[in-house]
Amino acid sequence: MYKPPLLQPPFSRKIAIAWLILAFSMFLSVTAFSETISERETKKSEISQGIKKYRINIRRLQQGIQRQQEQVKQNRQQERNLLAELQDIDSRLLEQKEKLDVLEDRMRAQQELIAVKGRELARSRHEKETVQGHLQKRIQAYYKTGNIGFMNVAFSTKTLPELLQINDSFQTLIKYDRQVIDTYRHTIGELERSIQSFELEQGLLKEFIDQNITEKEKLDLIKQEKEILLARIRTETKLHEQAILEMEQAATSLASNIQVLEKKEDLIDQSFLRNKGAMPPPVNGEVISRFEEQTTNRLGITSVSRGIAIAAPSGTIVRAIHEGEVMYSGYLRGYGNTIIVNHGYQYYSVSSRIERLLVKKGDKIDELSEIGLMGDTATLMSEGLYFEIRHGSENLDPLLWLDTSKLVLPGKSAAQATP
């Protein structure tokens, strides 16, 4: 005889308690316990639209992040290029400074040479003037002496040879002084030409220095512009990186929202779980045995109940407690005629001791769909409709899932049950 895996031995009580805690927390997260399929589909559609919208926004954010990353990459490349240019400018500025230092050294040396030549020129002019003064005095003395003639010889105390000797000496001195003056004139001319040459070279050096200073100023200006541009690019890079960070945070937030919506969507699908405590019992009647209660059937066999038993008159219609799909409909040894309904997410309801089965395997059913009829024959061995709720292979207490206002519980009168 076929025995579905649903009816294998249950999990431990700890796992059952954990599932109950999880189910209870999810149960508290919703405000409505009972809703139609249409309402659930509407909610799912709204959630799907929300998920779609968030995903579109995430894609846009991802595209924005990609654009910002490309901009950061471009900025990094520009930064590297600018740093290379600044390094080149610094090298050129260093070369320019070295040139200026050399030119300024040459200028100082030139100025020193001009100063030396100027002092030499002043000394030569002074010496020339001194020699020229001596020459003038000698010429004056010579002319005072006069020409050696008859009268000079006649009236002079000197002899003619002495007079001739004096005249020759005057002539020699005058000639020597003139030669010295000519030498000084030549020296002065050379010095003046040297000074003019040095001054001309100094002027050229000054032009070179001015050109180099102008070039250095231009390079300094270019360097400042490049540094300003570098600072701006670095600022833009930080802004792009900040934008990436904010977009990633926004994308993370949207992803979290999607997870929340997906959980809500999943929770909507788990309508069986969300309707815990509000589902109608399979039949209205009196609960004659409770979950995990020790029971004894009419043959005297004692066992621990994995569900509940509900006493109801023969002919009472057995109804589905929730929508789902019939996964088993037939005779099951130890259970009798049994209907197992899959409510999704591994939640199953098991209804046994049914006289007549009204559904077959594969049927789609709704809440309160008629699935069977109770009768005396089906309850010959054990009294009442036997009903279980399982999650996977774990048995759950049906009274925690059903609307007990429609049942008569031990210690509760029939009048207290909602018809």
Global pTM?
Answer: 0.48
pLDDT number for residue 399: 96
Highest mean pLDDT among 45-54, 289-298, 351-360, 407-416: 351-360
The most distant pair of C-alpha atoms in the chain lies apart, rounded to whole Å, by 200
* Cβ atoms of 401 and 277 closer than 8 Å: yes
Residue 179 has pLDDT above 60, yes or no: yes
Q: Return the percentage of the chain with pLDDT > 90, whole number.
A: 38
pLDDT number for residue 264: 75
416: pLDDT confidence band, cut at 50, 70 and 90? low
Residue 42 has pLDDT above 50, yes or no: yes
pLDDT tens track for 5-30: 444 333 344 444 444 444 444 444 44
Domains, the chain, ranges and CATH? 14-33+275-416 (2.70.70.10), 67-250 (1.10.287.1700)
Radius of gyration of the chain (CA): 62
Query: Cα–Cα distance between 269 and 263 in angstroms, integer?
Result: 10
Mean pLDDT of all residues in the chain? 81
Residue 154 has pLDDT above 90, yes or no: no
Phi–psi pair at 97, nearest 5 degrees = -65, -40
Type of residue at 223: K
DSSP 167-219: HHHHHHHHHHHHHHHHHHHHHHHHHHHHHHHHHHHHHHHHHHHHHHHHHHHHH
Residue 152 has pLDDT above 70, yes or no: no
